[in-house]
Amino acid sequence: MTLSKVLATYSKDSGNSVYVQSYESPVGKAIAAADEDFLYAVTFENSKNFEKCFETLAKELSCSFIESENKILKRFGKELSDYFEGKLKKFTVPTKMIGSEFQKIVWEKLMELPYGSTQTYGDLAKDLGRPSSHSRAIGAACGANSLLIVVPCHRLVASGSKGGYNSGVDRKDKLIELEKTFS
């Protein structure tokens, strides 16, 4: 389904507006969503969770979607450009995460991973005080991440392989390589 159709399907008649803008990037068209205070989503049109991302936003925020750029999205667009040029190592745009408490804990921990590094799902589980056998739960939390690149789930890898990525392993590989080039 196209972006316009997804937004039309899930928009709700309310006073809440969430702005949506597309950005060209070296790894494909990134689509971001924000209100006047927070960035809520960064996804790609061919991501597994593309439609679900907007469905969840509409449900949680009871919002209508507007295809336009606001101040938060302008800031994000500049930061995204700087990230791909190797000038930005950590996003500073204000974000708000929508998910379970466990998912939020995982996402916060992901934001501590240094630019240009990778860590295994099992090691992240251990860092959270859980056994490495919780790596599947860590992977599931990464799969539910709606702030791709900003919350760098691409930096998590499986033992002996790259692991998955809800926007495709090829895109994950490109993001990891990009960061290694500039770190």
Residues noted as catalytic: 153
Q: How far apart are CA 66 and CA 21, in angstroms?
A: 9
Give residues with Cβ within 8 angstroms of 151, minimum separation 6.
95, 97, 107, 110, 111, 145
> Maximum Cα–Cα distance for the chain, whole Å?
49
- Minimal CA–CA distance to 143: which of 67, 58, 53, 16? 53
Q: What is residue 3's DSSP assignment?
A: H
Neighbours of 143 (CB within 10 A): 14
